[in-house]
Amino acid sequence: MATASHALGSAFAGFTRTPVAAATAMTSHYQCGSSALMRWHWSQGGRTRRFSSGRSARISMSLRAGIVGLPNVGKSTLFNAIVENGKAQAANFPFCTINPNVGVVAIPDLRLHILSKLSKSQQTVPTSIELVDIAGLVKGASKGEGLGNQFLSNIREVDSILQVVRCFEDDDIVHVNGKVDPKSDIDVINLELIFSDLEQIEKRIDKLKKSKTKDAQVKVKEALMDGKPARSVDLADHEKEAIQHLCLLTMKPVIYVANVTESDLADPDSNPHVKEVAKVASDLQSGIVTISAQVEAELSELPLEERLEYLKSLGVTESGLGNLVAYDDFVAAGSLGAAREKGLLRLEGKDYIVQEGDVMLFRFNV
């Protein structure tokens, strides 16, 4: 569980609201540096505003992670294991899931709990992740095979991808390609995402025919033609911006979920399928989490903290103006006032890149 929590990371560990007109937000590490992943909505009186407050304000911050993979590999089982009261239909036949299942998961963080105590917060809101269990994908999906394009548009809407890879042998559970072969399964998925992106980028290049500003598109197209994901291309900030609106599937960060059998849990590395997934993940600079979705689903009666510890979100934030102090300094100082006295507070502008463990104080009018 701890492995997964590290791999998934989090944009915001959450935040606490103090009795005065201020909120303290704490960040955790994030991996995706390009897309705007954070959404802060405070709904009040039917209106949704960014950074507003009020006694009855309802606060939500969530990233979207899509559970992706071949049919019948354990995606819905994993979804049910993670999402409280998850009721996705999980059964032994391909294309069991057609419409995506969506669930929200809170991410507890001990550090946020400590901050809340130090700040004597009225309200503490851990960050959350929105999980989307997406229909299975087969070879040719980008050309409409299986559930095809419908499935791909579901992936386009998520911020990051959890790719479930079957690593368990079980003759009773149908494998759409007849045998358990993680490398081939991963290749099928990745190729379909690449084909879909290639179509997008070619359309864009056609539109930009006369313009000189298509360097980024051409660079990405070359990588895709080479079978590499868009995220592997080294792009300058302005180039990233030029293709951001395309929401390329292979630009999204991926974590591979090696789904093993119960008996492999004690020593998953002895499973050769897991080794294969680990090799691919390392070649593609992606994370890997080894779990048994089946066991996790059965364990989902555990207390919330234990169940959800292994899940955290990915992302970046567009922070506004804030007073910043590193988490360790804040905790060592004992309070925000003490941290200020010790000269640990700084004022940062909107260009500041938020660091792991930063504690931010936002002020606003009420």
Q: Which is nearer to Mg ion, 31 or 76 (CB)?
A: 76
Helix count and strand count (H, E) for the chain: 12, 14
**Residue 163 within binding range of ligand ATP, rule CB under 6 A:** no
Q: Are the beta carbons of 112 and 27 closer than 8 angstroms? A: no
Q: 167: number of CA atoms within 13 Å, CB side?
A: 32
62 binds, among Mg ion, ligand ATP, none (CB under 5 to 8 A by kind): none
Residues that contact ligand ATP, how many (by CB under 6 A): 26
Binding residues vs Mg ion (CB under 5 A): 75-76, 96-97
**Residue 94 within binding range of ligand ATP, rule CB under 6 A:** yes
**Residue 73 within binding range of ligand ATP, rule CB under 6 A:** yes
**Residue 266 within binding range of ligand ATP, rule CB under 6 A:** no
**Residue 170 within binding range of ligand ATP, rule CB under 6 A:** yes
**Residue 101 within binding range of ligand ATP, rule CB under 6 A:** no
Residues 107 and 251: their CA atoms lie apart, in Å, by: 24
Residues 162 and 251: their CA atoms lie apart, in Å, by: 13
Q: 245: number of CA atoms within 13 Å, CB side?
A: 3
Mark the segment that binds ligand ATP (CB under 6 A) among 57-65, 90-98, 217-225, 243-251.
Answer: 90-98
**SS3 label, residue 267:** coil
By CB atoms closer than 10 A (0-12, 13-18, 19+), residue 27 is buried
Least distance (Å) between residue 9 CB and ligand ATP: 24
| 33: its two tokens | 């540096």
140 binds, among Mg ion, ligand ATP, none (CB under 5 to 8 A by kind): none
Q: Which is nearer to ligand ATP, 153 or 355 (CB)?
A: 153
Q: Which of residues 280-339 bind ligand ATP (CB under 6 A)?
A: 292-294
* Position among 247, 261, 284, 321 found at the interface with ligand ATP (CB under 6 A): 261
* Position among 9, 66, 71, 253 found at the interface with ligand ATP (CB under 6 A): 71
Mark the segment that binds ligand ATP (CB under 6 A) among 26-34, 256-264, 301-309, 312-320.
Answer: 256-264
Please choose, from the candidates 312, 299, 315, the residue with its C-alpha nearest in 3D space to the C-alpha of residue 354. 315
Mark the segment that binds ligand ATP (CB under 6 A) among 16-24, 166-174, 206-214, 235-243.
Answer: 166-174
Q: Which residues pair with 68 in a beta bridge?
A: 163
Q: Which is nearer to ligand ATP, 99 or 122 (CB)?
A: 99
**Given the structure tokens 């995706």, which residue do they identify?**
32
| 246: its two tokens | 């395309």
**Residue 175 within binding range of ligand ATP, rule CB under 6 A:** no
* Position among 49, 95, 180, 300 found at the interface with ligand ATP (CB under 6 A): 95
Q: How far is CA 304 from CA 28, 67, 107, 193, 333, in A?
A: 20, 21, 9, 34, 31
- Cα dihedral sign, 224-230-232-237: positive
- Give the chain's length: 366
* Position among 173, 191, 208, 247 found at the interface with ligand ATP (CB under 6 A): 173
Taking residues 124 to 153 in sequence order and writing x for each that binds ligand ATP by CB under 6 A, - otherwise, the string is -----------xx-----------------
94 binds, among Mg ion, ligand ATP, none (CB under 5 to 8 A by kind): ligand ATP
By CB atoms closer than 10 A (0-12, 13-18, 19+), residue 156 is middle
Least distance (Å) between residue 88 CB and Mg ion: 6
Q: Are the beta carbons of 31 and 25 closer than 8 angstroms? A: no
Q: Which is nearer to ligand ATP, 92 or 177 (CB)?
A: 92
Q: Are the beta carbons of 83 and 105 closer than 8 angstroms? A: yes
Residues 190 and 203: their CA atoms lie apart, in Å, by: 20
Binding site for ligand ATP (CB under 6 A): 69, 71-77, 90-92, 94-97, 135-136, 168, 170, 173, 259-261, 292-294
